[in-house]
């Protein structure tokens, strides 16, 4: 395969993460739902389905995709359901999780034939970004007032508590879960299930997976609830790359290699959070890797190579699965990367190409 750019999903690495999820499920009794807001490339679902219990969503379209392409258990969440969405949503969902008591009041009766839940906001999180912090001042994400939570009892069977963000610190997770137990324990004991959301980086290197499993099992046993996790990044971390080609090389006091991709169009999360891409860092030849759009700050970051770059060279940008394919866009009309899977036997399947017709069809 030579035509770039393309996202390359590595089946063997993806299965490694899946086996860690399977081990966690077996030891803890927790169920694992793929968070589609992070990764919804359904051509990879057949690899993931044997190891996971279903999907969780943040919108009607994600919910529909989860039901249609993944199957198994399907959780429906939205910050706010509209009148013209709710009937379709409850047709796809096994559980529907309302963000607020007012949404439960408004739509709860319609959803009475499936399990209903409410988002609980513990008012703290592990997020280092204000943009992504569900516990930020005046947060609209979930209920925390115990009187409002009490008003939902009898109508809900569970809660979703999403407060971790790339949290690789088990001790911090343990401490914060203890805070939740202390503050909301009386409510938790009256529920059937609790989702602890995503953001726990338990498939990362050297994470104490067994300790996490034992802690989750203790939580489940103490409160008599089925625990759910919603791994997004944890499911697909280190499983894919963005493959690009050098189109031009400039030297404006710094050597710059322009590639056939764009951070704004193809790795938007890096631009939003002011982070740099995971680029090669071996060698003495330094280059800034930049995208091809007219955005002045369309820069992937600085890289190092063993030898000078030449036009036509391939560069592999690592860890490019999470929050990339779900956020790719048509800025500047730059061609979207294809999607490919490297199978365990080394062969590469080019799953999807995006054409001018796709660009045109996205507009009117």
Give the per-residue pLDDT at 2: 58
For residues 26 and 154, what is the distance between their CA atoms, to the nearest angstrom?
31
Digit-coded pLDDT (tens) for 251-292: 999 999 999 999 999 999 999 999 999 999 999 999 999 999
pLDDT score recorded for residue 342: 98
d(CA 273, CA 253): 27
Span 236-258, mean pLDDT?
A: 97
pLDDT band of residue 156 (cuts 50, 70, 90) is very high
- pLDDT of 1 reads 43
Does residue 184 register a pLDDT over 70?
yes
Helix (H) or strand (E) segment spanning residue 319: none
Q: Is the pLDDT of residue 51 over 80?
A: yes
Q: Are strands 314-318 and 338-342 parallel, antiparallel or unpaired?
A: unpaired
Q: 3-state class of 160 per DSSP? A: strand
By DSSP bridging, strand 348-352 and strand 115-119 are unpaired
Position 48 pLDDT exceeds 50: yes
Span 192-204, average pLDDT: 97
Distances (CA, A) of 259 to 14, 97, 109, 296: 27, 42, 53, 14
Percent of the chain with pLDDT over 70: 99
Question: Alpha-carbon distance 246 to 292, whole Å?
Answer: 10
Q: What does 217-282 look like in DSSP terms, one character per residue?
A: HHHHHHHT-EEEE--SHHHHTTSEEEEEEEEEEEESSSEEEEES--HHHH-HHHHHTT---B--B-
pLDDT digits (tens, 9 = 90+) for 88-103: 999 999 999 999 999 9
Residues in the chain, total: 364
pLDDT of 242 reads 98
Nearest partner of 181 among 138, 225, 237, judged by Cα: 225
Q: 330 falls in which pLDDT band (50, 70, 90)?
A: very high
Average pLDDT score over the chain: 97
Can you give the pTM of this predicted structure? 0.96
pLDDT of 128 above 90: no
Distance of CA 53 to the CA centre of its chain: 16
């Amino acid at each position: 395969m030579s035509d770039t750019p393309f996202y390359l999903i590595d089946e063997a690495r993806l299965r490694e993460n899946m086996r860690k999820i399977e081990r966690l499920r077996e030891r803890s009794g927790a169920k694992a739902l793929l968070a589609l807001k992070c990764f919804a490339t359904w051509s990879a679902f057949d690899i993931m389905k044997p190891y996971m219990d279903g999907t969780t969503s943040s919108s009607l379209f994600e919910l529909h995709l989860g039901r249609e392409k993944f199957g198994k258990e399907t959780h429906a969440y939205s910050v706010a359901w509209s009148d013209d969405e709710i009937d379709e949503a409850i047709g796809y969902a096994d559980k529907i999780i309302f963000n607020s008591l007012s949404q439960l009041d408004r739509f709860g009766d319609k959803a009475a034939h499936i399990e209903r839940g409410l988002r609980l906001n513990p008012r703290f999180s592990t997020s280092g970004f204000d943009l992504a912090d569900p516990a930020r001042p005046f947060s609209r994400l979930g209920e925390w007032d115990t009187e409002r939570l009490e008003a939902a009892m009898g109508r809900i069977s569970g809660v979703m508590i999403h407060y971790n963000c790339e949290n690789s610190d088990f001790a911090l997770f343990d401490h914060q879960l203890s805070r939740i137990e202390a503050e909301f324990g009386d409510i938790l004991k009256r529920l059937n299930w609790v989702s602890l959301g995503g953001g726990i980086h338990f498939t990362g290197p050297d994470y104490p997976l067994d300790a996490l499993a034992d802690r989750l099992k203790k939580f489940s046993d103490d409160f008599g609830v089925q625990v759910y996790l919603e791994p997004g990044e944890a499911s697909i971390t280190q499983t894919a790359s963005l493959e690009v080609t050098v189109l031009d090389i400039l030297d404006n006091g710094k050597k710059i290699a322009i590639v056939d991709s764009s951070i704004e169009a193809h790795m938007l999360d890096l631009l939003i959070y002011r982070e740099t891409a995971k680029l090669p860092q071996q060698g003495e030849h330094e280059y800034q890797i930049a995208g091809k759009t007219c955005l002045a700050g369309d820069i992937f970051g600085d890289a190092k190579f063993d030898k000078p770059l030449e036009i036509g060279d391939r560069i592999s940008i690592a860890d490019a699965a999470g929050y990339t394919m779900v956020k790719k866009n048509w800025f500047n009309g730059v061609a979207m990367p294809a999607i490919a899977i490297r199978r365990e036997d080394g062969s590469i399947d080019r799953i999807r190409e995006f054409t001018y017709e796709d660009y045109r069809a996205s507009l009117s």
